[in-house]
Chains A and B, each alone.
Chain A
Amino acid sequence: MSQFNEIRNPIETLPLIKELFPREVLYIVELDKRDSWLKDMNLWSFFVPDRKSGDINLNRESFLKLLSKEYDRHWIESAIDGNPTPTHCEFKINHMNSIHYYSCHFIKDRKKSYLAFRRVSEQRISETQNYNALQLQSFATLVPGILHDLKTPLQYVVNNLSYLKEVINLSDLSDKDDVLDAVEQSLIGTDKMSKLVHHVLDYRRRGSDIKEDFKIDAILDEAVQITTFEWKKIASVTFSVEPKGMYFFGYPGEIERIVINLIVNSCHAIEKQKSTSKGRISLFAIKETGWNTLIVEDNGCGIPEKNLKLIFNPFYTTKEVGKGTGLGLHLIKEIIEVKHGGEIDVISDEGKGTRITVRLPQNKEVILK
C-alpha cells in the first residue's frame, strides 16, 4: 500500500530516503523512551511552520494537542509505545487558519522504531476517508447475517420461556408470582429483541430503486425504533403526521436513512448541550402546497452561525471518529435535491436547538387526479 512497507532494513534505507526527500515533505524521527525526538525544533517547524520557536512546549502533550481527532491522538500514542494498529495513520493539523494534512508510517526494525511523517494533499486524505467508509460499508453488509443468526437462539429462548411460564403456572411453588414475573419480564425482553431484529432487517431489505408513494408514519416509526439506543437515555422522541396516514413520494429506503441520520445528529447535539433537563426531538410530517414536508426539531446545542454555511460541505464534521453514521449532511442534501428534486433548510439557534426542514415534491400524477 505504501512505499514504506517495503523497507526491509530501515537502518540502511532511512538515510537514503531522508536524502531523497526534502525535510519539508518528509520527516523521520527515531522513537525512544524519553521522547527526545519531540525536542527537535525542526520537527515542530515541519508541522507548524508559522509558529515561533519560543511559544511551544516541546513535549508529547503539546504535540498531541496539534491533532484534532481523538483517534489520531490515540494512534500517535500507541505508535510511541511501539504497537500501533494499523501501522499507518493520516491526520490533519489545523493551525493559525491553515490546515495541513500528514500521513504517518510506523517503521520498526529489530532495535529501533521510527515514525515517518509525510505532508500529503487533501485529496489523499479524502481517499482514506472513502476507504474508511468502505470498511464501514463492509461491516454493514455483515450485520444482516449477524442479526439473522440471532433469530435461531431467540426462537428457542422464546419457546423455553413460554414453556417455563406454563409449567410454573401449573405448579404449586410458594413464590410462584415472583418466578412468573421473572419469566414474564424475560419474555418482554425477547419480544423487544425480536422486534428490533425485524425492524433492522426490514430497513435493510427496503430497496431504493423505485420511486413510490409510501406511508410516512411507518417510516418514521421504524426510524425511531431503530435509533432507540441513541436517544433512550438522553431524549424523548415524538412524531406526528398531519393529515393522518399521509403519503410521501420518493425512495422510502433513502428517506428512512435520512430520518435516521437526522435523529442521530439531534441526539449528538443534545448530548453536547449537556442540559440537566431531558432532550426533546420532534418529527413532523405535514403537507404544504406542492410539497410533502418533514421537520426534525431538537433542543440540542445548535449550530454556530459561522458554521451554518459549512454544514453541507463534504468534509465538515465536529464529531469524533466513529461518531458519524456515515451519511453526512452533504449526502442527505444530495439525496434530497438531486434524487428527489426537493430542498433542505436548516434553522439553528446556538444553545437552543436546530430545526431541519426537508421538502419533497408531491407525486404529480396524484395531484392531477
Chain B
Amino acid sequence: MKVFFFVDDDDLIIKSFKRIFHLYKDNYEAHFFNNAQDALEALFLNQPDYLFSDLHMPGIDGIQLIEQSLKISPHITTILISGDGFKQNEDKPAHFYLEKPCTRDQLIEIMQHEERL
C-alpha cells in the first residue's frame, strides 16, 4: 500500500482531505500534518512514497519542506500545492505542481501515474 503525507496549515483543508481519503483507506495510507516540522519528524518513522505540501505555510514553507524531505529520503515523489499558479515557478524543487482548489482525483492521478512508471 502506498503511503503519502499531506501537509497544509489550514485545519479545515486537512479535515476535508481526511474525509475524502477515508473512503480510499484500503488503497492508501494517508498521514496528515498541519505544519512542516511535524511532517519532517514523521519522515523518519513512516517512509512515505508521496509528499503533498501546501506552498505558503508559517515557519517552514512548502519549498523548504520539500528540499529537506528530499535530503532525508531522496526517493519521495513531491507535489507542491498552491493557489499561486506556477507559471513563473519552474525552478521550484517539486516533481509535480497542483493549483488550489484541486480534487482528490488529481492527487490519485499523480500517484497512479507514478505507479505505472
Contact = CB atoms under 8 A, between A and B. Distances in A.
Interface of A: 148, 151-160, 162-163, 166, 190, 194, 198, 201-202, 205
Nearest to A193: B101
B101 A190 contact: yes
B100 A155 contact: yes
Nearest to B15: A156
Given A166-B20, A198-B99, 15 more contacts: A148-B84, A151-B83, A151-B100, A152-B10, A152-B12, A152-B100, A154-B100, A155-B100, A156-B15, A156-B16, A157-B101, A159-B19, A159-B20, A160-B16, A201-B85
Interface of B: 10, 12-13, 15-17, 19-20, 23, 83-85, 87-88, 99-104
A367 to B, nearest CB: 29
A152 B17 CA distance: 12
Given A156-B12, A201-B85, A162 B20 contact: yes
A223 B85 CA distance: 19
Contact of A158 (B83, B84, B103): B103
Does more than half of chain A's interface fall in helix, strand or loop, or is it mixed?
helix
Nearest to A201: B85
Contacts, number: 53
Nearest to B83: A151
A159 B88 CA distance: 27
Contacts of A155: 13, 16, 100-102
Contact of A205 (B13, B20, B87): B87
Nearest to A149: B83
Does more than half of chain B's interface fall in helix, strand or loop, or is it mixed?
loop
B58 to A, nearest CB: 14
Contacts of A194: 101
A198 B102 CA distance: 12
A166 B16 CA distance: 13
A163 B19 contact: yes
A153 B15 CA distance: 12
Q: Which of B12, B13, B83 gathers the greatest number of chain A CB atoms within 10 Å?
A: B83
Q: Which of A155, A194, A202 gathers the greatest number of chain B CB atoms within 10 Å?
A: A155
A218 to B, nearest CB: 14
Nearest to B16: A159
Given A148-B84, A202-B85, A154 B16 contact: no
A159 B85 contact: no
Given A152-B10, A152-B83, A160 B101 contact: no
A162 B24 CA distance: 13
A205 B104 contact: no
A151 B98 CA distance: 13
Contacts of A162: 20, 103-104
Nearest to B87: A205
